[in-house]
Structure 1
Amino acid sequence: MIFATSDGTVLHYIREGTGEPLVFIHGLASNLKAWDPQFRYFRSLFDTLAYDCRGHGQSTVPEELTMEDHAKDLYELCSLFDKPVNLVGISMGGYIAQNLLIRHPETINKAV
């Protein structure tokens, strides 16, 4: 287990593999475990990261929560890589990815 801090919120994530960065973003009321099959496969091809969005899984629950907060968290995690990342998001995760695309398009290589 690895934890990062974004504006005082502790984010739980896992990161494995080498190569191009690939980040998985789960949907509402889920956690990083939703991506287990994909994570296990892609970690052999990419530098793969999955995380618990704030308020989910092992990440802390803030008093207030906005999509901008989620996008800021994703930006912080993307900064762990030294190049633009490939994003895969579902449901709320797709919306978080869109928010990051609008705010920091330079951090993203591809988004699904």
Structure 2
Amino acid sequence: MMVTFKSDGSVTIAYEVTGQGEPLILIHGINGNLEMFYHNVEELSKYYQVITYDLRGHGKSDRPLNYTMNDHIDDCFRLIIHLNIKRANILGFSLGAYIGLGFAINYPEYLHKLILVGGKGHGEVSSYARLMTKHRHEIKGLPKNEVLEKLKPYIYHNKDIVEEWLQNVSHYATMTPDEEAIASRSMANFDFRNSMEFIDKEVLLIVGEHDGLNPPFESEAIEQKVKRSHMLEFNKSGHAPLAEEYERFNDTVVRFLS
């Protein structure tokens, strides 16, 4: 059942709690919402109290005209305080992975274990903008919806399951082009590289072998900096192993956390 809370006294954040046990917070990616985890919540909630929420600017949460990466990180912290959680496991996907990494740096005493899916440790622009620049000659002159279709093979591997997954996300909530631009700006110019070496938590890095958005080398760079980290490559996935190989993904998460 969906409920809400006021994160900083003004921004309403929508969230859901499923199952019982040790808390596991799932943080979704940009232009998405908590439905990004619909392949995962049912299975993971057999073992954990699974908390999913819509980031500010996304889903059924409030959509301010401006926010930053630090706002996202603080929202996660305030959700933990709101739910009276002493320590949580955090799993972040894409933008959610950046938030999870920032959380580990800013609020380590509230973190147990961390899982980063398709993440990176820094970025001057969004990964999608970077991908568009890389393939600019292929997408030149195309309307926005055709650009995404053209780039999908560089982002994902299992086309059929990704189409169903993205439809499910869009049926739950969509964003306007202006809202997407605001969300994209929130990711610009973040850099955790000089702080990652101080993270003293168990960290699992999951990345799809065919991920052209945040390729495996981005996770390798985190693994080299974070001393208690381990990287696992999913060879039948692109950017979304949580959907593209969800059975293996769910099993991997449970094994790591237990």
**Same structural fold, with TM-score higher than 0.5 when normalized by the shorter chain:** yes
Deviations 1:57-111 (A, max 9, x none): 0000112110000001000112214321011111100001111111110010000
Q: Residues 1-112 of structure 1: matches in 2 within 5 Å? A: 1-7=2-8, 8-79=10-81, 80-112=83-115
Taking the aligned partners of 2:42 and 2:80, their CA distance within structure 1 comes to: 20
**2:222 match:** none
| Amino acid across the alignment from 1:2 | V
Unaligned runs of 5+ in 2: 116-258
Deviations 1:22-79 (A, max 9, x none): 0000000100000012111111111110000000000001121100000010001122
Q: Is the 8 A contact 1:28 1:91 kept in 2?
A: yes
TM-score (norm 1): 0.96
Q: Is the 8 A contact 1:22 1:48 kept in 2?
A: yes
The structure 1 segments of at least 4 consecutive aligned residues displaced by more than 3 Å after TM superposition are none
| Amino acid across the alignment from 2:108 | P
In angstroms, what is the RMSD of aligned CA positions? 0.9
| Amino acid across the alignment from 1:45 | Y
| Amino acid across the alignment from 2:50 | T
- Paired residue secondary structure (2:26): strand
Taking the aligned partners of 2:68 and 2:20, their CA distance within structure 1 comes to: 32
Larger helix percent: 2
Taking the aligned partners of 1:31 and 1:82, their CA distance within structure 2 comes to: 22
- Paired residue secondary structure (2:109): helix
Taking the aligned partners of 1:21 and 1:33, their CA distance within structure 2 comes to: 18
Aligned residues: 112
Query: Which of 1 and 2 has greater Rg?
Result: 2
Query: Which is worse superposed, 76-85 or 101-110?
Result: 76-85
Taking the aligned partners of 1:89 and 1:81, their CA distance within structure 2 comes to: 20
Q: State the structure with bigger RCO (CA 8 A, min sep 6), 1 or 2.
A: 1
- Paired residue secondary structure (2:60): coil
Identity %: 36
Taking the aligned partners of 2:108 and 2:53, their CA distance within structure 1 comes to: 20
TM-score (norm 2): 0.42
Larger strand percent: 1
Taking the aligned partners of 2:107 and 2:58, their CA distance within structure 1 comes to: 24
| Amino acid across the alignment from 2:17 | R
| Amino acid across the alignment from 2:6 | T
Taking the aligned partners of 1:67 and 1:91, their CA distance within structure 2 comes to: 13
Q: Is the 8 A contact 1:12 1:51 kept in 2?
A: yes
